[in-house]
Amino acid sequence: MTTLRISEARTAQFPMIAHVHGVGWEIVEPVDAEVLRRGSENQLFTSVLEDKLREFNPWLTSDQARSIVETIEALPATIEGNWEVLRWMRGEHKRYDENEKLSRSVQLIDFEHPDNNTLQVSWEWKVEPVARKGNRADVIFVVNGLPTAIVEHKNPTSGDALTRGITQLRRYERETPELLAQTQLYSVTHMLGYWYGVTWNVSRRFIFKWKYAEDESYKSAVEAFFEPHAFLRTLKDWILFYVEDSETRKSVLREHQRKAVDKIVARCADPTKNRGLIWHTQGSGKTFTLLTAARQILEDKARFANATVILIVDRNELEGQLKGWVERLLGEMQASDIAVRRADSKADLQDIFDSDFRGLVVSMIHKFEEIKANSSKRNNIYVFIDEAHRSVAADLGTYLMAAVPNATIIGFTGTPVGDSKAGSGSFKIFGRDDEDGFLDKYSIIESIEDETTLPIRYKLAPSSMRLPAEDLEEQFYAMAGEEDVTDIDELNNVLERAVNLRAFLGADDRVDQVAQFVAGHFKGNVLPLGYKAFVVAVDRETCAKYKVALDRYLPPEWSEVVYSKNVNDIVDRPAVAELQISGTREEEVRKLFKKADQEPKILIVTDKLLTGYDAPVLYAMYLDKPMRNHVLLQSLARVNRPYIDTDNVSKKVGLVVDFVSVLEDMKKALTFDADVIKGALEDLDILMIDLHQKITVAADEYLQVDGSQAPDAQLEAAVFGRFIDPAARKIFYDAYKDIEALWEILSPDPGLRDYIQTYKDLSKLYAAVRANYTDSGSFLGDLEHKTRKLIQDSSTQEGLGRFSKVVDFDVETLEQLKSEEGPDEGKVYNLLRGLRKEMEEDPAGAVVLQSIKERADQVMQNLEDRKINGIAAMIELETLAEEKAEAKKMAKKSGLTALGFAIYWVIAQDNGVKKSSLDAMAASREIETELGKFPSWRENADEKRRLRAGLYKPLLAIEKEERAAVIERIIQVLEQAS
C-alpha cells in the first residue's frame, strides 16, 4: 500500500499536468519551454506562433507573420494590452493581402476545430525582466505559442489556500506584469477545490468555483475546464472587457451565465418558439448575460440572417451601471462590423423600423408608445427586455409587440416571479413556451451557494424608533396592494399619498433619534470592518434632515446625500435644494464610495442608487423607507455583493437594520414563494442562536484540558497533541472560521457577553495552531479585525508568539533546544521554519541546502503520519544539522564564494559528472572566474549568451550529451541566486 503524501507539487501540480495531457495538451518540460521562449525574459513560443500564423493564413508573407508576432510581443503589460492580445486571439485584427488587394482578418486560433491548434502546457514558468525581481508561475497553458492561462497550486492542508493564491497573483501584477501580459485566465487550486477568474481582475469577488463537471473530483474539474473545445470557447465567447467608473475592467462569464446565453441563442434560432423568461437573481451578472447573447446573435450573420437585436433598458439602468460602458460595448460591436443605433426619440425609433435597420438598437420601453403597428414583420428581430417584470407594464408592452409581431422576445428579471401581480404578468407574457415558465432560472439560493452573492441578515431597530406595524399595514400595504408597484418611481407615487406615514418617518425628533442610533451602530459595527453604509430615507426632504442630523454625531465628510433634482426645489424645498449635489459631484461620489479608503462612508438616498449601482464595499443598509417585493429585493441587493479587503478578509454577509418593520412580517413584504428567499434573508437572532451552539460544541471538543498542567503546558499539549495530523487541523480551522465569521457579524452585541472568554480561548488556540504549522511568522495574521483586537494584548502577554518562533537550523541551536522545556514536536517545527527562512534569505546557499530540506520535510511528514515521535524527529534532524555543518566547512575550505560553492555543489552531485574525470572543484573556480567577465549578464542578453558559451570549456571532461544538461542547471542556479 502506498502512503498518501500531500504537497503542492505531488498532490495538485503534477496531477494537473497528467490530467490535461489526457484531454489533449502536449507537455513541454520547463527547460524546453524556456528555449521556445528564447529565454526567461520572454513569454511567447515565437516559432510556434509564426508557424500557426502561416498555416492558418497562407496569404501572409514571412515578414508579415514575423511582424504580427513582434506586434503582440510589444503590447504593454497592462489590462489594455491584454485586451488587444485577446482581440488578436479572436481574429479581430486585419492585415493587407497583397494578392487579393484587400484587408483580411488574421486567424491565430481555430476555435471550430480544436485539434488544428497546438495546445501545450508547462510548469515552473520563470519570468525574469531586465533589472527587476522575477517570479515563477506554477503552471502555464499555451495555445499556438500564446500563453493563455496561469495556474497557482496551494497545499490542500492550508486553511487559506485560496486567499494566498489570490495574493500571489496580485503580486505578479505588481512585480512582473509581463507574466500576465498575454494570459487571459487564471486558476487557483489545492485539489480540494478549483477556482477560476480572469487576469487583471484578481479579486475574491471575481474568482469563481468551477462546478461544471457532474463529478466533483479534482481530476474531473481540471479535465472539464481545460477540455480543448470548452477552453477555447471560454477564450472566444466568455471573456468580457468593459468600462466602469472610467476604468477598463475585465470579467468572465460563470457557468450559469454561459448556460443561459446558449439557451437564449438557441431560442432565437428556434422557428417554433418566440418567447422566453430568464430569471437570474440580483447581483449574478444578468446584464453581462444579456449583452453576450446579443453579441453572439449579431456576430453570426449567416445563422440569423443579418438580424436586428433591440435591447430595452430603463432610465435607471442608463444612469446606473450601464452608463459609461454601454458606449464602449457599442463601439466594440461597430469595430466587429456590427451596426449600432440608439433610439433617442420615438421618431428615431420609427425611422429605425422604416429603414429596415440591421444591427443593435438600444432603446427605452416608453419610446414604443404609439409606434406604428406592424412596423416590421421580420422574424429575425430579437427583443431583449431587461427588468421585464416592470418594463412591459401598462400599454407599453402592447405597443412593442404590435410594432414587431413576429419578433422573438426574451424577458430578463432579477427578482422572483411568482404570486405578485407583476410576476404573474411576466409568466403570461414571456413564459408561455416553457413548461415551468422559465427559459432559464438562477435563484437567490443558488447564487449564495456559488458565492456569486452573499446572504443578507437583518435586525429590527429598537421599537421606540420603528414605524408601528398597524401604520405600515394601513398606510402602505393597503395602498401598495391596489397597484402594481414594480419600480422606485411607482413606490414613490404610493408614498406620496401616505401623508401621515411620511410625517411620522420625517419628524425632526425621530430623525435625530435614528441618526444618533445609526452613528453609534456604524462606528461600532461597520467602521471597524472597513465597510460602508446606506441610509435609505422615505423622501428627499427626510434625506436632507438625515444629513443635518448625522453631521451632529459624525464628521460631516463621512456622509453625502444623493437624490434626484427638481427645478422647483429652490422655492418649495429650500433645504433639499441646499444639499443637492451637482451632476459632476454625484459622479465623483459614486466612484469614491466604492473605495474603502475614501470618503464618503455613508450615502443618504431615497430613489437614486437603489437599482443599478454596484458597490461591493457597501455592507450595511439602514432602511427607513417602506418597500415591497421587487423594489425591496432590488434595494436590499445593494449589500449582497462579495468583497475582499486589502488584508484579504472577505465580507461574509450584507446587513440591513430595519426602521420601518417591513421585515417583521416577511409574508407581506415579499409575496413570492417562501422557498425562493429561505436562507437568503434571515434575522440576526437566528445567527446568534447558531453562534451560541457552535461555540458550545467547539469548547467541548477543543478546550478540555488537563487541569493539573500549567496554562502554557495545557496550550502546548493541545497544539502538539491533537493537531499534528493535518486532517485534524483542517477540521478545526473550518469549525473556528465558521464561529469567527459569525462573531465578526454580530459583535458588539449583549448576547455575546457570556461567550467572550470562551471565544477568546478558541481564538488563542487557533492562532497558536496556525502560527506553529505555517510559515506566516505571525500568530495574529490570520484573524479578522474584531477578533484580532479582542485577543492581541493578552496573546502577547501569554507568549503565543513562541509558536511562530524562528530559530537557526544548526547543531548548537538543536542542542540548546533539547535541554529546553516543551514538546519536541514544537521544536521540530521551529527548526524547519528556520531552515526555510535561511534558504529564502540566501538563494545561493539554498542550492546546497535543498537536499537537506527535502529530507527534513520527510521527517516532518513522518511525524505528521505518526511514524515517528518528536524525540525520533529531533534525532534525525540532528544528523541533518551535522551534514549541514560539514557542507559549510567544505564551503569555507574551498575558498569559493557562496555562489561558486553552489555551482560546485551542483556539478559534484550530477551523475554525469561523477562518471567523468572532471575535477569539480577546479571547474567551479574556472566558472567563477568566467562569471566575473560578464557582470551585466542578468540585464544583458548578449552577455548571457557569451557566459553560457564560456561554460563549455571548464566542463569539457563531461560527455557531450551530458554537458548541455549540466550547463542548463548551472544557469538555473545563477538565475535562482540572483
| Contact in structure between 238 and 315 (CB atoms under 8 Å) | no
Which bin fits 145, alpha (ψ -120 to 50), beta or left (φ > 0)?
left
Of residues 21, 65, 27, the one with CA closest to residue 47: 65
Q: Which one is predicted more confidently, 622 or 524?
A: 622
Tens digits of residue pLDDT in 796-845? 545 555 555 666 777 777 777 677 676 767 677 677 776 677 666 677 66
pTM above 0.85, yes or no: no
Q: What is the pLDDT of residue 115?
A: 95
CA separation for the pair 721, 805 (Å, rounded): 18
Over 50: is that where the pLDDT of 326 sits? yes
Element (H, E) at 147: strand 146-153
What pLDDT score does 797 carry? Answer: 44
**Alpha-carbon gap, residue 518 to 512, rounded angstroms:** 10
Cα separations in angstroms, 195 against 10, 60, 124, 163, 727:
19, 39, 20, 11, 22
User: Degrees (nearest 5) of the Cα angle 575, 577, 581?
Assistant: 120
Task: Work out the percent of the chain whose per-residue pLDDT is above 70.
Answer: 82
306: left (phi over 0), alpha (psi -120 to 50) or beta: left
* Chain segment 369-428, per-residue pLDDT in tens: 888 999 999 999 999 988 776 666 556 678 888 999 999 999 888 877 654 444 455 566
Q: What percent of the chain has pLDDT over 90?
A: 30
Residue showing cell 457557468: 255
**What average pLDDT is seen over the chain?**
82
Q: Quick check: 662 and 635 in contact, CB under 8 A? A: no
Terminal Cα distance for the chain, rounded: 43
Range with the largest mean pLDDT of 26-35, 637-646, 701-710, 785-794? 26-35
Distance in angstroms (rounded) separating the CA atoms of residues 53 and 69: 9
Q: Does 312 score more than 60 pLDDT?
A: yes
Question: Which residue did the predictor score with more confidence, 757 or 519?
Answer: 519
Taking alpha carbons only, the member of 434, 404, 432 closest to residue 307 is 404
C-alpha cell at 774: 505555517
The superfamily CATH assigns to domain 253-449 is P-loop containing nucleotide triphosphate hydrolases (3.40.50.300)
What gap in Å lies between CA 239 and CA 728, rounded to an integer? 40
The DSSP H or E segment spanning 890 is helix 870-894
Interval 292-309 mean pLDDT: 91
Residue with cell 484540558: 705
Q: Are 186 and 196 in contact (CB under 8 A)?
A: yes
Please check the confidence at residue 517 and state whether its pLDDT lies above 70: yes
Which stretch, 143-147, 581-585, 716-720, 853-857, has highest mean pLDDT? Answer: 143-147
Name the range with the highest mean pLDDT among 144-158, 503-517, 716-730, 819-833: 503-517
pLDDT of residue 589: 94
Q: What is the pLDDT of residue 111?
A: 95
Q: What would the 3-class secondary structure string for 690-744 be?
A: HHHHHHHHHHHHHCCCCCCCCHHHHHHHHHHHCCCCHHHHHHHHHHHHHHHHHHH
| C-alpha cell belonging to residue 542 | 427626510
Query: SS3 for 359?
Result: strand
User: Whole-angstrom Cα distance, residue 787 to residue 779?
Assistant: 12
d(CA 931, CA 49): 34
Helices (H), 192-345: 218-226, 228-233, 255-269, 286-299, 315-319, 325-335
Q: Please, which pLDDT band fits residue 248 given cuts at 50, 70 and 90?
A: confident
CB-count exposure of residue 738 (10 Å: 0-12, 13-18, 19+):
middle
- Does 923 have pLDDT greater than 90? no
- With residues binned 3-state (H G I as helix, E B as strand, rest as coil), the percentages for the chain, rounded to 5, are 55, 15, 35
Least confident residue range of 225-239, 438-452, 552-566, 943-957: 943-957
The 10s digit of each residue's pLDDT in 100-139 is 888 899 999 999 999 999 999 998 898 887 767 778 888 9
Q: What is the DSSP letter of 179?
A: G
Three-state secondary-structure class, residue 757: helix
CATH class of 456-679: alpha beta
**CA–CA separation, 509 vs 517, rounded Å?**
13
Model confidence pLDDT, tens digit, residues 331-367: 566 556 788 888 888 999 999 999 999 999 988 888 8
361 DSSP β-pair partners: 310, 341
The residue count for the chain: 978
The string over 74-85, giving b where at least 16 C-beta atoms fall within 10 Å of a residue's C-beta and e elsewhere, is ebebebebbbbb
- Are the C-beta atoms of 64 and 95 separated by less than 8 Å? yes
- Whether 480 has a pLDDT exceeding 90, the answer reads no
Domain spans, the chain: 8-240, 253-449, 456-679, 688-804, 811-894, 898-977
* CA distance readout (Å), 686 to 689, 696, 814: 5, 16, 52
Helix 726-746 and helix 785-797, axial crossing angle in degrees, nearest 10: 120
Residue 363 is given by DSSP the state E
Looking from the CA of 716 toward its CB, the CA atoms found within 13 Å total 19
Strand 185-189 to strand 119-127: parallel, antiparallel, or no bridges (unpaired)?
unpaired
Alpha helices in 365-450 (DSSP H): 388-391, 396-403, 421-430, 444-449
Pairing of the two strands 194-198 and 185-189? antiparallel
Fold agreement between 253-449 and 456-679: yes
463 C-beta neighbours (distance < 10 Å), count: 8
Q: Which pLDDT score is estimated for 884?
A: 76
- According to DSSP, residue 582 is labeled P
